[in-house]
Amino acid sequence: MCKKIICLAAICAALCSVTTATAQSSDIQPQAADITVLAKHTLLTDIANVNGQQLVAVGERGHILVSQDGQNWLQSPVPVQANLNSVYFVDKQHGWAVGHDASILATKDSGASWRLQHYAPETDKPLFDVYFANSSSGIAVGAYGLFYRTEDGGETWQKEFHPEVLSEDDQAYLEELKETDPDMYEVELGAILPHFNRLFADGNVLYMVGEAGFAAKSNDNGKSWSRLETFYNGSLFDITRTPQMALLAVGLRGHAFLSHDQGESWQQIALNETATLNSAFFDNDGRLYLVGNAGTLLVSSDDGASFTNLSRADGKAIVNGLIWHNELLLVTETGIRSIKQSELK
């Protein structure tokens, strides 16, 4: 695994809309990303450790950067200028990146080159995360419940609608609208679901978090979802496991929550922090990292019971990060930041 590494049967059958889309589905032609020496100093949003052999980072204007050592970065040619939000590698060769204009890019050569598999600027919706269970089966998720699935490595992507994550009132509203106002029904299909912000694969179980406290769980690779009880009214931007296997969710205004029962109940972590938390991850020594806006960097050595504030003085937003050869690599609004782990103790 190479990232950090995003049904009520009757209703799903009635409402689930599935269509096939490819990179040729739009009349608007994509423009290739500009190659610039400044790419590593611009906004980067995600970073992946590819089998411990190299790193791949993605960011604004279609920038994708590859490094063998975490210090020297080479920009890859990319056929689209859309802002990219997430990157995922299923093995050392096969990876995917997703972003604005519902763009989905794929590589078969460890990130050296990329091919556009899906591009739909007419949707005016970004994709926020991507996950592949294997080299064939993957899903990509984004704004207003945007959800695509592939079973052929991304050669084709099918759009899905998942009403089972809605409240019973919203499900009933859609059912009624489908009968009384088909045009408005189609409009609501593209607006009624919350933003799906992040996916997390926990063995055979998938978790997903998003806007307005949305959190859901799937036991069948995302084919159907069960919405978890709401434990926070604000948006959540990441969900992961802690070193001791609790679930951790983070989001707006410094909010973070732990669950010790697979998401059935959650307890808020007391943090002296008000900046939005964008991501959470841990290292092999059991340290847990929370990163966010305004240079926020919080580190815990006791599985989230307490945190040391090591936020950066420059105040630049940190979007994600990982540990690479005893260094903390952060992707930020001003590119790659490298911090030696010894400086974090």
Is the same domain home to 122 and 95? yes
Is the same domain home to 297 and 181? no
Q: What is the DSSP letter of 163?
A: G
Length of the chain in terms of residues written: 345
The mean pLDDT value for 293-304 works out to 97
Question: What six digits make up the tokens of 62?
Answer: 């279609």
Is the same domain home to 224 and 255? yes
Is the same domain home to 175 and 270? no
Is 246 among the domain residues? yes
Is the same domain home to 119 and 239? no
Tell me the per-residue pLDDT of 130-180, one tens digit each, with 9 for 90 and over: 999 999 999 999 999 999 999 999 999 999 999 999 999 999 999 999 999
Read off φ and ψ for residue 335, nearest 5 degrees: 100, -150
d(CA 324, CA 193): 37
Is the same domain home to 228 and 323? yes
Identify the residue whose tokens are 């088909």. Answer: 182
Tell me the per-residue pLDDT of 202-258, one tens digit each, with 9 for 90 and over: 988 999 999 999 999 999 999 999 999 999 999 999 999 999 999 999 999 999 999
pLDDT at 12: 32
Print the domain residue range for 145: 1-193
Question: What six digits make up the tokens of 223?
Answer: 């084919």
Is the same domain home to 158 and 208? no
d(CA 313, CA 334): 14
* Final residue belonging to a domain, choices 165, 193, 221: 193
Please return the burial class of 344, using the count of CB atoms within 10 Å of its CB with bins 0-12, 13-18 and 19+: middle
Count of structural domains within the chain = 2
Is the same domain home to 28 and 140? yes
Is 113 among the domain residues? yes
Is the same domain home to 305 and 178? no
* Final residue belonging to a domain, choices 143, 163, 193: 193
Per-residue pLDDT band for 342 (boundaries 50, 70, 90) equals confident
d(CA 77, CA 242): 36
Is the same domain home to 146 and 28? yes
Is the same domain home to 308 and 160? no
Q: What is the pTM of this model?
A: 0.91
Tell me the per-residue pLDDT of 48-69, one tens digit each, with 9 for 90 and over: 999 999 999 999 999 999 999 9
First to last CA, the chain: 28
